[in-house]
A = this chain, B = another copy of it.
Amino acid sequence: MHKTTEMDMEKNILEENERIADKNQKLFEEKGVRAFNILGAIGSGKTSLIERLREGMDKRIGAIAGDLNGKDDYERFKNKDMPAVAINTGKDCHLDAHYVNHGLESIELDDLDYLFIENVGNLICPVDFPLGTEADVVVVSVTEGDDMIRKHPLIFSRSDLTLVNKIDLAEAMDVDLNVIEEDFKEVNPHGTLIKTNAKNGEGIEKVAEFLDIPYSR
């Protein structure tokens, strides 16, 4: 009899995820909700990005906050009057389509135009788990150094948009933005990289434009 191997198990998990991601995608389409998957390391500025977008959008916007533990980001979304769900993954280093599907049970999609899904903070695990969203946006911060892109090529090559955030700190951190841009071109020659400062809103207009989101500061 065929023995289940680690490889089979991984394949099954990924296939199952694709299946549920398709289901989520259909649900978003049915409900007329545009959903985005926001990725990036801890402290890169994912939550701030969503807050800034929210402030400039005259639309009905919800959020899902994925974290190992706690409700910090969920509370931040609530404070911006966004319907929100906190998903605590415990030890899982990424959201998957199934987590999101469960999360959608606690949020009324009929009342939303947009949904931002903030993934668990790291540049590694979320790569293999599409959620059924329209686009993946990766946020990195210059405080992470200038080698984060070449250290994690996969996530940057697969994502639809990359933001280099906290650019106001580049000089203080002794980080060369040109190095980051060159590495990005290497990893994703036709991709788009936008420099942002999610604290003061710099660059967020360009992000909205790229994602075709109606936005005005």
Closest beta carbon of chain B to A93's beta carbon, Å: 4
Chain B contacts of A93 at CB under 8 A?
Answer: 93, 122, 124-125
- Smallest CB-CB separation from A154: which chain B residue? B91
CB contacts under 8 Å to B, within A112-144, are 120-125, 127-128, 141, 143-144
Which residues between 1 and 33 of chain A lie within 8 Å of chain B, taking CB atoms? Answer: 1, 3-4, 6, 9, 13
CB of A217, distance to nearest CB on chain B (Å): 21
- Any B CB within 8 A of the CB of A153: yes
Kindly state the separation between the CA atoms of A13 and B152 in the bound complex, as whole angstroms: 24
In contact, B69 and A128 (Cβ under 8 angstroms)? no
Q: Is the CB of A152 within 8 A of B3?
A: no
User: Is A41 in contact with chain B by the CB < 8 A criterion?
Assistant: yes
Q: Considering the chains assembled together, what is the distance between the CA atoms of A197 and B6 in angstroms?
A: 42
User: In the complex, how many residues of chain A place their beta carbon closer than 8 angstroms to a beta carbon of chain B?
Assistant: 39
Residues in B with CB closer than 8 Å to A6 are: 9, 13
Q: Which chain A residues in 181-196 approach chain B with CB under 8 Å?
A: none
A110 at the interface (CB under 8 A from B): no
Task: List B contacts of A9 (CB < 8 A).
Answer: 4, 6, 9
B4 touches A151 (CB 8 A): no
CB <8 Å contact, A145 and B69? no
- From B124, B144, B147, B169, contact of A70 by CB (8 A): B147
Q: Mark A49-76, 1 if CB is under 8 A from B, else 0.
A: 0000000000000000001111010000
User: Please, which residues of chain B bring their CB within 8 A of the CB of A214?
Assistant: none
Given contacts A6-B13, A43-B144, A121-B122, 5 further A-B contacts (CB under 8 A): A42-B151, A42-B152, A69-B152, A70-B151, A91-B127
